[in-house]
Amino acid sequence: MAEHDRIRITEIFYSLQGESSFAGFPTVFVRLTGCPLRCGYCDTAYAFSGGEWQTIDDILKIMKQYGVHYVCVTGGEPLAQKSCFELLKRLCDAGYSVSLETSGAMDICDVDSRVVRIMDIKTPASGEVAKNLFSNIDCLTTQDEVKFVICNCDDYVWACDVLKKYHLADRCQVLFSPSYKTLPPQDLAEWILRDKLPVRMQIQLHKFLWGEKQGV
């Protein structure tokens, strides 16, 4: 079996999409194992290691059983596994609406053009700001989305500077998200309104509904 046909999976589960412009849609999540980052607010540390090897054919069979149109490939950092690129292509070929949640530390330019790339830009309080691969911005299209997780006022100011420097709102949709239980959502909302930013504020819908736990 070719190496690119196998991929290490932490979990596959069905839930409502909690973030991005797809928030609220019933979605199957394919969570890949492994991540080279260690963000201070990470809520999926259980995906750093372990998992089970599965073939892409097996993943497609599982997807078919759910009977859902939307699929989100996430992690960890999914692009840390080279076979992720083939998985994304095969999901698109099968007719699914596919989104990819990626840290922004890996090159996204070779991801299948049919995939909606939801790319984090790590803020200073994440502890991983040095890992941002800003060259990815040149690869973004209008269907893609950029997300900043904001932990405090300094993060907000930094994100506003990046927003302006790279003209991000002219390239794609931009999401500002308050770090869960770290920054009160009302504070971020007031800052965005005050500064009239061309961004979408989002909260993590799944955590509002079910709390911070695995498989939702």
pLDDT in tens, 5-62: 899 999 999 999 999 999 999 999 999 999 999 999 988 899 999 999 999 999 999 9
Nearest to 30 by CA among 52, 51, 57, 10: 10
The reply to whether 216 falls in a domain is no
**DSSP alpha helices (H): ranges in the chain?**
56-66, 83-93, 153-165, 168-171, 185-195, 205-210
The reply to whether 105 falls in a domain is yes
Question: By the 8 A CB rule, do 26 and 16 touch?
Answer: yes
pLDDT at 173: 97
Residue range of the domain that includes 80: 3-210
**Beta strand pairing call for 145-150 and 116-120:** parallel
Q: What are the strands of the beta sheet with 173-178, ordered from one edge?
A: 52-55, 6-16, 26-32, 70-74, 97-102, 116-120, 145-150, 173-178, 200-201
Pick the residue with more confidence: 134 or 211? 134
Please list, residue by residue across 181-212, b when 16 or more beta carbons sit within 10 angstroms of its beta carbon and e when fewer do.
eebebeebeebbeeeebebbbbbbbbbeeeee
pLDDT at 2: 57
The reply to whether 215 falls in a domain is no
Q: What pTM, to 2 d.p., does this model score? A: 0.93
Tell me 183's DSSP state.
S
Backbone φ and ψ for 188, nearest 5 degrees, come out as: -65, -40
Question: By the 8 A CB rule, do 100 and 116 touch?
Answer: yes
Domain harbouring 94, CATH code: 3.20.20.70
Q: How far is Cα 70 from Cα 114, in angstroms, rounded to an integer?
A: 13
Q: How far is Cα 157 from Cα 76, in angstroms, rounded to an integer?
A: 27
For residue 216, pLDDT over 80 is answered with no
For residue 151, pLDDT over 70 is answered with yes
Domain count, the chain: 1
The reply to whether 62 falls in a domain is yes
Question: By the 8 A CB rule, do 15 and 24 touch?
Answer: no
What is the arithmetic mean of pLDDT over 139-156? 98
